[in-house]
Amino acid sequence: MTILSTLQDVLGPQGLLTTEADMAPWARDWTGAYASTPLAVARPATTAEVSAVMAACHASGQPVVPVSGNTGLNGGAAAQGALVLSLDRMTAIRGIDTAARTAEVEAGVILSRLHDAAADHDLIFPLTFGARGSAMIGGVLSTNAGGSNVLRYGNTRDLVLGLTAVMADGRVMDLMGRLHKDNSGLNLKHLLIGAEGQLGIITAATVKLFPKPRAYATAMVAAASLDAALTLLHRVQAATGGAVEAFEFMPAAFIAGHLALVAGAKPPFAEAHDVNILIEVGATAPRDATPLDDGTVPIVTLLEDTLVQMMEEGLILDAVTARSEGHRREMWARREAAAEITFARRPFVDTDIAVALPDVATFLAEARRRLLVLDPAASDLSVAHLGDGNVHYTAYPSRDDADLKAAIREMVEDVVQDLRGSFSAEHGVGLSKLGSMARRKDPVALDAMRAIKAALDPKGILNPGKTIPR
């Protein structure tokens, strides 16, 4: 009770939750796969309070699990017996600098709220994904989240200029700033981003903003093959100077799942196709975005001309261009329902892999072949950020057998390793990929990670048992 009494003094009655009912939102993850009973939930409202919490926990050796929106998929926020440190009260958007095109935000800011704040200044924070209405900046940074616009803007790590972090012993490391260049030693900012709370707790960040596109050209495209889809990507990239914002692959099974699960859902085409692509191009230059006298928009015309040419070549089978913002949002709603579609069936083995762009088709074919060898009655489902080679591949075994599920996960790892890919692309490691890390990560790299962890968290109290195998 000593540590709880200390935390009560630091945080007050509103800042520390100890009853089962009050802690319930933090006792289970979004997927339902990981449940735990925390010691308590600390809800500091400032970096100073986070510092005081960590100093007390470091002194007593109390494990701490930092949590933001709790929308992770890999058990990274499971906290059996640990203190959950929630950043949900740190919700300030401290400022938006339109000249520098930056925003300074606290870790508890919900992603969609940052989108809205940037839009008020005719700017965008380009990171986006289906959970943007609940995911928080702290978790986004801690997992180096990806999403649909990585193709043009990069992962989270590419979008951060500075941050503030509280270390395991409570000291505050101030790396805040708006510099695009800083060559003063090791890049500790990049080390903390993607570390899943292993090295420190990020409490605030300075992030990059970009001009809001004046117009979008968005289309659903049925391609003859994945190779044909990549030809489309390269042609549009060349024609627009790299303005493709998203290039998302949804196979026929995904479309069928969407139609079955979502009330009022509409098929993208009159006929079903195996390779369905959502492509979006963003235009910021007036010459590309300003409607002509006949009402056409140059960037939309450019995309349509490319699609027509590829239809004549037999590389594209059908295409529908969004004719309104509502139609565009309908197309995106299909893609952003991926999590609900994926986890609607059980049992499942969900994976999040990355391979080189030309290897996506090989991965999908080989993973399915090997899956049916392991379990002839199994099925699978995939959806992909095709533009950056990130595939979300989910297998559905015919029985809820732990050994079978483990064998399926190792099979996927085998295929990925054969293609020199990564078994973890954008969702982090947490608990579910801990075995994959032990089996597949370079052993020298693992030793380096353990050494860094030991140096910055010698008592091992930050998110213990996750991410870095012992």
* pLDDT per position as a tens digit, 290-300: 999 999 999 99
Torsion region of 270: left, alpha or beta (phi above 0 gives left; psi -120 to 50 gives alpha)? alpha
Q: What's the confidence (pLDDT) of residue 246? A: 97
pLDDT in tens, 423-450: 999 989 999 999 999 999 999 999 999 9
Determine the topology of domain 2-86 in CATH.
3.30.43
How confident is residue 125, by pLDDT bands cut at 50, 70 and 90? Answer: very high
What tokens were used for 109? Answer: 């800011």
CB contact at 8 A, 112 and 133:
yes
Identity of the amino acid at 277: I
* CA-based nearest residue to 87, from 53, 60, 127: 53
pLDDT classification of 29: cutoffs 50, 70, 90: confident
For the cut 60, the answer to whether the pLDDT of residue 1 exceeds it is no
Block residue for tokens 């479309």: 255
- What per-residue confidence (pLDDT) applies to 84? 97
Q: Which residues of 22-54 are buried (b: 16+ CB within 10 A; e: fewer)?
A: ebeebbebbbebbebebbbbbbbbebebbbbbb
- CATH fold of 93-211, please? 3.30.465
Q: What angle do CA 363, 191, 189 make, to 5 degrees?
A: 125
Every domain range in the chain assigned CATH 3.30.465.10 = 93-211
Outline which parts of the chain fall under CATH 3.30.43.10: 2-86
Domain(s) of CATH 3.30.70.2190: residues in the chain: 215-338
Rounded mean pLDDT, 107-116? 98
Average model confidence (pLDDT) for the chain? 96
Where are the extended beta strands (E) located within 302-408? 316-321, 349-354, 379-385, 390-396
How much is the average pLDDT of 111-119? 98
Identify the three-state secondary structure at position 203. strand
| pLDDT tens per residue, range 371-402 | 999 999 999 999 999 999 999 999 999 999 99
Of 470, 467, 388, 469, nearest to 142 by C-alpha is: 467
- Looking at residue 378, its pLDDT comes to 98
Return the ∠ at Cα 253 (arms to 247 and 255), rounded to 5°: 60
Task: Give SS3 for 119.
Answer: helix
| pLDDT of 262 over the 90 cut | yes
Q: What is the CATH architecture assignment of 215-338? A: 2-Layer Sandwich (3.30)
Q: For domain 345-426, say whether CATH 3.30.70.2740 is its number.
A: yes
Separation CA 253–CA 268 (nearest Å) = 13
DSSP 171: P
- Among 281, 284, 307, 103, smallest CA distance to 208 is for 103
Residues of the chain with CATH 3.30.70.2740: 345-426
